[in-house]
């Protein structure tokens, strides 16, 4: 199984060299540096605590180059919650000490040893069982799972107290451990996929060597699978994955069953009986069950990622205006899981940095439909694909193009893709927030680009929106190929609005070199606006007042107040 890529978190430039040494050992791991303190990090963060907790909750292994105490204090509030428990390590800034802190069952000691070896020091392993036996019995390698953790803990403490152990069944990693083996021992480690009655003094370890194939719709799939396993005398813990035909991909029953059983769900293109699906996926030792649910047992643990393929995923995401802290966490998580990232080059770069295993497909801004189709082609192969937009993907951006491509397609593989649109902070909202609340009452969002719609429609909408006293947000206000449109738009608005109406111009908001300018409709010149500018025009009630720093607050009150007279 591929292990999750750790995040290396540093607080100052003093730890950068150590961080880079560790990074060489974990290709794809990113160095997260505190903004203003670290130069040369892959990602910058503002708040150490929030960053560490977010990584932890996303189940990302954490290597923090700082005092162990800081890490413990920061993560303490999360430790009582159930949920993610990734490995967490503290490493001395000069690389002289490696301390595994949390995630004993997630392999933290293995990581500690790896890092210590890379830094040529020894890891501060404190787990007695592991020190004594050279392996953590409670944390079998991928392909094996421990039956009962509580029992396991007692088992290890009995071993530490001097008892011996007998091993039944085979697991190569156990053979390598230095367990105090004795064929007459009272304690037994039993490795096998058969369902057995619980026995005193027996620790069960299940190999994940069972595949369950389900053909067709089954009403309560997880109950049917459990029953079939029971009948076959096979432990549910040994199930490595569920398998179904491609035609079942979009259905929810199997997805729910896989979730309930905590196993991956894979697909093969073959249709037909469950036994046929099995033969397309693995070479089983034996098959039991019927045409609907077939259970196949393999000789060795199965690697689910090598069996068939997963349901592909396509997420159309909004990066927000640009600043990392204005990107929603769901979007960050989606970027982390992506195999492929598609988009206009500037936005793809904004979404990075990426790991070496992630494939970037940068295209011209105008090739929207082509990009959307390409995204479906990749996702239909079972890949996890992200299409990036700036701001919100549903606002003059890729979400509509992706849906249009799907709507036009009759390819079942495209319709099977797990499609999701993840929102972002749109430029109008990011700009409004910096100015105050100019869009605090009803407002209208318009793109002034007549590339994709007739100019006459734009004029009509401008006229009616201005007449209706809506505050206005203009996207795509001007460009080299559309030089006169903004001037004409302002003329139309001015027919219904006073020259003193507040106007906000936000340029590159949330990006380096951002500017925010507050002016009035009468003073606004088209030369103050370019294609990276957001234009917000107030309504008749929009007001301004000075801030102490010399700039201006702009807001549109929630109420018409003494202007509660109908508009003529």
Which one, 385 or 536, has the nearer CB to ligand SAH? Answer: 536
**Spacing of C-alpha 68 from chain mean position:** 27
Candidates 126-134, 135-143, 393-401, 540-548; binding stretch for ligand SAH (CB under 6 A):
393-401
Task: Determine, following the binding rule CB under 6 A, whether residue 97 of this chain makes contact with ligand SAH.
Answer: no
Closest CB 323 distance from ligand SAH, rounded Å: 9
Closest CB 346 distance from ligand SAH, rounded Å: 10
Task: Determine, following the binding rule CB under 6 A, whether residue 439 of this chain makes contact with ligand SAH.
Answer: no
Provide the β-strand partners of residue 313: 384, 418
Task: Determine, following the binding rule CB under 6 A, whether residue 510 of this chain makes contact with ligand SAH.
Answer: yes
Candidates 11-19, 228-236, 383-391, 558-566; binding stretch for ligand SAH (CB under 6 A):
383-391
Token pair 């993560």 in the structure block, residue: 75
Count interface residues toward ligand SAH (CB under 6 A).
25
Closest CB 475 distance from ligand SAH, rounded Å: 4
Candidates 326-334, 374-382, 453-461, 470-478; binding stretch for ligand SAH (CB under 6 A):
470-478
Distances (CA, A) of 568 to 132, 234, 360, 562: 87, 78, 54, 16
Residue 325's nearest CA partner among 24, 41, 47, 131 is 47
Out of 509, 518, 537, 544, which residue is the one contacting ligand SAH (CB under 6 A)?
A: 509
Which one, 167 or 534, has the nearer CB to ligand SAH? Answer: 534
Residue of minimal Cβ distance to ligand SAH: 391
Q: From residue 412 to residue 431, what is the string marking binding to ligand SAH with x (rule CB under 6 A)? A: --------------xx---x
Out of 74, 109, 476, 541, which residue is the one contacting ligand SAH (CB under 6 A)?
A: 476
Task: Determine, following the binding rule CB under 6 A, whether residue 390 of this chain makes contact with ligand SAH.
Answer: yes
Q: What is the DSSP string of 311-371?
A: PPEEEEEE-BSS-GGGS-HHHHHHHHH-SEEEEEHHHHHHH----TTSEEEEE-TT-HHHH
Closest CB 495 distance from ligand SAH, rounded Å: 23
**Spacing of C-alpha 82 from chain mean position:** 20
Out of 6, 33, 106, 321, which residue is the one contacting ligand SAH (CB under 6 A)?
A: 321
Candidates 44-52, 194-202, 289-297, 388-396; binding stretch for ligand SAH (CB under 6 A):
388-396
Q: Which residues contact 103 (CB under 8 A, 6 or more apart)?
A: 61, 85, 86, 87, 88
Which one, 69 or 512, has the nearer CB to ligand SAH? Answer: 512
Which one, 242 or 435, has the nearer CB to ligand SAH? Answer: 435
Give the H/E segment covering residue 446: strand 443-447
**Spacing of C-alpha 178 from chain mean position:** 40
Q: Which residues contact 127 (CB under 8 A, 6 or more apart)?
A: 104, 109, 136
Parallel, antiparallel or unpaired: strands 515-520 and 98-102: unpaired
Q: Which residues contact 496 (CB under 8 A, 6 or more apart)?
A: 463, 466, 467, 469
Out of 56, 133, 344, 475, which residue is the one contacting ligand SAH (CB under 6 A)?
A: 475
CA–CA dist 487, 525 (Å, integer): 8
Task: Determine, following the binding rule CB under 6 A, whether residue 434 of this chain makes contact with ligand SAH.
Answer: no
Candidates 157-165, 228-236, 373-381, 390-398; binding stretch for ligand SAH (CB under 6 A):
390-398
Q: Which residues contact 504 (CB under 8 A, 6 or more apart)?
A: 431, 432, 435, 438, 516, 517, 518, 534, 535, 536, 538, 554
Provide the β-strand partners of residue 210: 239, 297
Which one, 177 or 534, has the nearer CB to ligand SAH? Answer: 534
Task: Determine, following the binding rule CB under 6 A, whether residue 508 of this chain makes contact with ligand SAH.
Answer: yes
Task: Determine, following the binding rule CB under 6 A, whether residue 501 of this chain makes contact with ligand SAH.
Answer: no
Candidates 122-130, 132-140, 387-395, 544-552; binding stretch for ligand SAH (CB under 6 A):
387-395
Task: Determine, following the binding rule CB under 6 A, whether residue 477 of this chain makes contact with ligand SAH.
Answer: yes
Out of 534, 536, 537, 554, which residue is the one contacting ligand SAH (CB under 6 A)?
A: 534
DSSP 3-state percent helix, strand, coil across the chain (nearest 5): 35, 25, 40
> What is residue 123's DSSP assignment?
B
Task: Determine, following the binding rule CB under 6 A, whether residue 485 of this chain makes contact with ligand SAH.
Answer: no
Out of 506, 518, 542, 555, which residue is the one contacting ligand SAH (CB under 6 A)?
A: 506
Closest CB 385 distance from ligand SAH, rounded Å: 19
Q: If 0-12 CB within 10 Å is exposed, 13-18 middle and 19+ buried, where does residue 36 land?
A: exposed
Token output for 275: 């036994």
Residue 506's nearest CA partner among 465, 463, 551 is 551
Out of 140, 289, 322, 438, which residue is the one contacting ligand SAH (CB under 6 A)?
A: 322
Contacts with ligand SAH by CB under 6 A lie at 321-322, 389-392, 395-397, 426-427, 431, 475-477, 506-511, 531-534
């Amino acid at each position: 199984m591929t292990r999750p890529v750790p995040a290396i978190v540093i607080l100052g430039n003093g730890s950068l060299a150590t961080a880079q040494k560790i990074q060489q050992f974990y290709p794809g791991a990113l160095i997260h540096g505190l903004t203003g303190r670290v130069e040369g990090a892959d990602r910058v963060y503002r708040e150490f605590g929030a960053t560490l907790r977010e990584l932890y909750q996303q189940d990302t292994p954490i290597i923090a180059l700082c005092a162990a105490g800081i890490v413990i204090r920061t993560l303490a509030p999360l430790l009582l919650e159930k949920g993610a428990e990734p490995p967490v390590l503290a490493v001395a800034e000069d690389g002289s000490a490696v301390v595994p802190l949390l995630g004993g069952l997630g392999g933290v000691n293995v990581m500690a040893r790896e890092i210590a070896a890379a830094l040529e020091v020894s890891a501060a392993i404190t787990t007695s069982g592991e020190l004594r036996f050279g392996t953590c019995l409670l944390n079998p390698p991928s392909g094996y799972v421990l039956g009962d953790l509580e029992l396991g803990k007692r088992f290890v403490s009995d071993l530490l107290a001097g008892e011996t152990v007998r091993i039944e069944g085979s697991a190569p990693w156990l053979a390598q451990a230095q367990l105090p083996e004795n064929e007459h021992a009272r304690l037994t480690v039993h490795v096998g996929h058969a369902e057995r009655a619980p026995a005193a003094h027996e620790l069960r370890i299940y190999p994940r060597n069972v595949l369950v194939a389900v053909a067709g719709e089954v009403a309560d799939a997880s109950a049917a699978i459990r029953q079939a396993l029971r009948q076959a005398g096979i432990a549910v813990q040994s199930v490595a994955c569920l398998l179904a035909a491609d035609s079942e991909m979009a259905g929810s029953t199997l997805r729910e069953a896989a979730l309930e059983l905590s196993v991956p769900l894979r697909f093969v293109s073959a249709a037909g009986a469950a036994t046929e699906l099995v033969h397309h996926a693995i070479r089983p030792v034996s098959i039991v069950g019927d045409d609907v649910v077939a259970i196949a047992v393999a000789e060795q643990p199965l690697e689910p990622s090598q069996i068939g393929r997963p349901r592909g995923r396509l997420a159309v995401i909004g990066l927000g205006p640009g600043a990392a802290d204005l990107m929603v966490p769901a979007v960050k998580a989606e970027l982390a899981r992506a195999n492929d990232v598609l988009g206009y080059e500037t936005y793809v770069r904004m979404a990075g940095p990426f790991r070496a295993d992630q494939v970037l497909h940068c295209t011209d801004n105008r090739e929207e439909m082509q990009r959307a189709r390409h995204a479906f082609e990749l996702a239909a192969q079972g890949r996890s694909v992200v299409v990036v937009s700036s701001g919100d993907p549903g606002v003059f951006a890729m979400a509509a193009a992706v849906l249009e491509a799907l709507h036009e397609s009759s390819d079942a593989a495209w319709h099977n893709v797990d499609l999701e649109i993840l929102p972002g902070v749109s430029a109008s909202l990011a700009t409004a927030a910096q100015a105050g609340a100019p869009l605090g009452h009803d407002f209208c969002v318009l793109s002034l680009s007549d590339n994709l719609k007739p100019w006459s429609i734009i004029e009509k909408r401008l006229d009616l929106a201005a007449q209706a006293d809506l505050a206005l947000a203009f996207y795509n206000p001007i460009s080299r190929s559309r030089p006169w449109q903004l001037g004409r738009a302002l003329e139309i608005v001015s027919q219904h609005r006073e020259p003193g109406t507040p106007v906000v111009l936000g340029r590159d908001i949330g990006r380096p070199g951002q500017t925010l300018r507050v002016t009035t409709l009468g003073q606004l010149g088209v030369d103050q606006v370019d294609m990276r500018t957001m234009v917000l025009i107030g309504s008749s009630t929009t007001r301004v007042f000075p801030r102490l720093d010399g700039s201006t607050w702009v807001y549109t009150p929630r109420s018409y107040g003494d202007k509660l007279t109908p508009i003529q």
